[in-house]
Amino acid sequence: MAKRETFTRWDASECLKTEEDMALYLDAMIEESNGDPRMIAVALGDIAKARGMTQIAKDTGLARENLYKALSADGNPEFSTVMKVITALGIKLHATPAQAIKPRQASRRKSAAELAAA
């Protein structure tokens, strides 16, 4: 009789050891998400688990159980929750154009102050 193998579920949070690991993982999940916010929420949940969900809960003022639920594949966190988690994780978000800006368009770009004044 063949020996039966047992497998454990892979947990990304166990592989996230450094700040760089966490940032690269989140970037990859954003890139691969194709606009699916659940993938980004799951990535944030994995990073929060790697850092310590109890501490993230304290830092955000949210219940640990609610964070686990919101940052799961079945969760649907509010944007305010996502931003609280990002802040607690010490992550800095930035935006880049999805496509390269054509040279003539670049000269027409407005500064943030110009946009705010408009």
pLDDT of residue 17: 94
pLDDT digit string, tens, across residues 7-64? 888 889 999 999 999 999 999 999 999 989 999 999 999 999 999 999 999 999 999 9
Q: What are phi and psi of 69, to 5 degrees?
A: -70, -50
pTM (whole model) above 0.95 = no
In angstroms, the CA 6 to CA 39 distance is 27
pLDDT digit string, tens, across residues 60-98? 999 999 999 999 999 999 999 999 999 999 998 888 887
| Sequence-distant contacts of 110-113: CB under 8 A, at least 24 apart | none
Torsion angle defined by CA atoms of residues 78, 83, 85 and 87, in that order, rounded to the nearest 10 degrees: -170
Please classify residue 60 by burial: count the beta carbons closer than 10 Å to its beta carbon, then call 0-12 exposed, 13-18 middle and 19+ buried: buried
